[in-house]
């Protein structure tokens, strides 16, 4: 057997590879090897989660951000963005619409917007919890203090998404002039320790990112063992300092999604909107390479186009119903079954022991 086939077999059988082995695999993988990788990742997903694909309603409630990440379209110094902020009442109306459409997980995402104080967020979470006791509430609002994370958890949040973005300190520093590598890591650890279901993850194809950097990302995820893993291509936004850069490819992103599934087999992995934006088949291919979550956007159409982390984002004008039905069709065409339930991490489901029953 060739080195490559040994590695593909090793990661499939043991769910482990060293950083050097991952780097070798990423650099040398051929088209035929990719098919083996995707197929093994799909089988692994089916062992843990069957053919279910969990749907989450994504509410992008503010595009105001105090941070200045070089890649991001809503970075503080992009003066061309029309900024918006939904009131708690508008967010609740959005939840109601999502609930009527059948969603039982809401993901509340925003730029780092401190207008939403701990008190405002606690009240909002309390109101959502009161109206919909059975739903899962996921926050993706960036860095806050551990005390605030604790209060938000107590007020009803269940999950928190915060990509680590890149596990290479030097690259992180270059891309995040207003943030610190250690702070992001500390937030992720605090969230996990407090008892949230935590999502980490990274972008693929960042300027200057190497195969060794991506291997480091996967090793970090293997060690940290998050419940959710978001992996998407970097897509350049023209109004950012990285506007003229190349961006990540479909093939590279799919290989990393598949490797994440094999290395952290019990994780929930979205087929990201960014991948769907890069290629019309992107999300379907990700589902066939180990992903098992899709997050249809239910942000009000009046503001949706302003939440442009990158340009030409899909579902820009779709009404939430259309967005849900087109995604369900995509899931069915790919041969899977859309599930609107909470879709908790297997680590949090009592009695879930590794293989899908």
State in angstroms the smallest separation of the CB of 33 from ligand SAM: 26
Cα-based torsion angle of the residue sequence 155, 114, 319, 302 in order, rounded to the nearest 10 degrees: 140
13 vs 312 by CB, closer to ligand SAM = 312
Q: Can you say how many angstroms the Cα of residue 227 is from the centroid of all Cα atoms in its chain? A: 11
In order, the DSSP letters of 118-180 are HHHHHHHHHHHHHH-TTSEEEEE-----HHHHHHHHHTT--EEE---B-S-HHHHHHH-TT--
Q: Which helix (H) or strand (E) holds 326?
A: helix 320-333
The neighbour count for residue 102, using CB atoms within 10 Å, is 12
38 vs 234 by CB, closer to ligand SAM = 234
Task: In whole angstroms, give the CA distance from residue 356 to residue 40.
Answer: 16
* Region label for 10, one of left (φ > 0), alpha (ψ between -120 and 50) or beta (otherwise): alpha
State in angstroms the smallest separation of the CB of 197 from ligand SAM: 15
Instruction: Decide: 122 and 155 in contact? Cβ < 8 Å.
Output: yes
State in angstroms the smallest separation of the CB of 217 from ligand SAM: 12
Cross-strand bridge partners of residue 85: 62
Cross-strand bridge partners of residue 138: 107, 159
Which residues are at the interface with ligand SAM (CB under 6 A)?
A: 71-72, 109, 111-112, 140-142, 162-163, 165, 203, 232, 234-235, 237, 274, 309-310
- String of b and e for 155-192 (b: at least 16 CB within 10 Å)? bbbbbbbbbbbbbbeebbeebbeebebeebbebbebbb
State in angstroms the smallest separation of the CB of 107 from ligand SAM: 10
109 vs 292 by CB, closer to ligand SAM = 109
110 vs 292 by CB, closer to ligand SAM = 110
State in angstroms the smallest separation of the CB of 355 from ligand SAM: 31
Which residues have a Cβ under 8 Å from the Cβ of 354 and sit 6 or more positions away? Answer: 48, 266, 346
Give me the helix-helix angle, 146-154 and 118-131, nearest 10°: 20
33 vs 239 by CB, closer to ligand SAM = 239
CA distances from residue 50 to 27, 28, 54, 271, 353 in whole angstroms, order as listed: 31, 31, 11, 16, 14
191 vs 258 by CB, closer to ligand SAM = 191
25 vs 276 by CB, closer to ligand SAM = 276
280 vs 312 by CB, closer to ligand SAM = 312
Cross-strand bridge partners of residue 109: 60, 140
State in angstroms the smallest separation of the CB of 8 from ligand SAM: 28
State in angstroms the smallest separation of the CB of 72 from ligand SAM: 4
State in angstroms the smallest separation of the CB of 22 from ligand SAM: 20
40 vs 105 by CB, closer to ligand SAM = 105
State in angstroms the smallest separation of the CB of 110 from ligand SAM: 6
State in angstroms the smallest separation of the CB of 353 from ligand SAM: 32
247 vs 346 by CB, closer to ligand SAM = 247
């Amino acid at each position: 057997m060739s080195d490559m086939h040994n590695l593909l077999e090793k990661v499939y059988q043991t769910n482990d590879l060293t950083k050097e082995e991952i780097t070798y695999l990423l650099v040398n993988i051929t088209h035929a090897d990719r098919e083996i990788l995707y197929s093994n990742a799909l089988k692994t997903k089916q062992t843990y989660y069957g053919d279910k694909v969990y749907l989450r309603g994504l509410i992008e409630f503010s595009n105001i951000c105090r941070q200045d990440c070089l890649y991001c379209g809503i970075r503080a110094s992009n003066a061309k963005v029309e900024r918006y902020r939904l009131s708690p009442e508008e967010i609740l109306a959005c939840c109601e619409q999502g609930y009527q459409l059948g969603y039982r997980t809401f993901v509340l995402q925003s730029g780092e917007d401190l207008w939403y104080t701990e008190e405002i967020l606690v009240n909002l979470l309390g109101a959502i919890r009161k109206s919909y006791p059975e739903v899962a509430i996921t926050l993706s609002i960036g860095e806050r203090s551990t005390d605030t994370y604790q209060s938000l958890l107590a007020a009803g949040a269940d999950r928190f998404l915060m990509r680590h973005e890149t596990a290479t300190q030097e690259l992180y520093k270059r891309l995040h002039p207003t943030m610190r590598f250690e702070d992001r890591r500390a937030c992720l650890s605090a969230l996990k320790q407090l008892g949230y279901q935590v999502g980490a993850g990274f972008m693929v194809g960042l300027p200057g990112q190497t195969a060794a950097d991506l291997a480091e990302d996967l090793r970090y995820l293997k060690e940290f063992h998050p419940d959710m893993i978001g992996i998407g291509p970097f897509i350049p936004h023209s109004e950012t300092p990285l506007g003229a850069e190349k961006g990540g490819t479909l093939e590279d992103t799919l290989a990393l999604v598949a490797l994440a599934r094999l290395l952290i087999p019990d994780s929930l992995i979205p087929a990201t909107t960014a991948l769907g934006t890069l290629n019309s088949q992107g999300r379907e291919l990700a589902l066939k390479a180990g992903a098992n979550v899709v997050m249809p956007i239910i942000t009000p159409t009046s503001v949706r186009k302003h939440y442009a982390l990158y340009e030409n984002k899909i579902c820009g004008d779709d009404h939430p119903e259309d967005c849900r039905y087109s995604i369900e069709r995509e899931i069915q065409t790919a041969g899977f079954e859309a599930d609107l339930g909470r879709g908790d991490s297997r680590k949090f489901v009592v009695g879930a022991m590794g293989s899908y029953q």
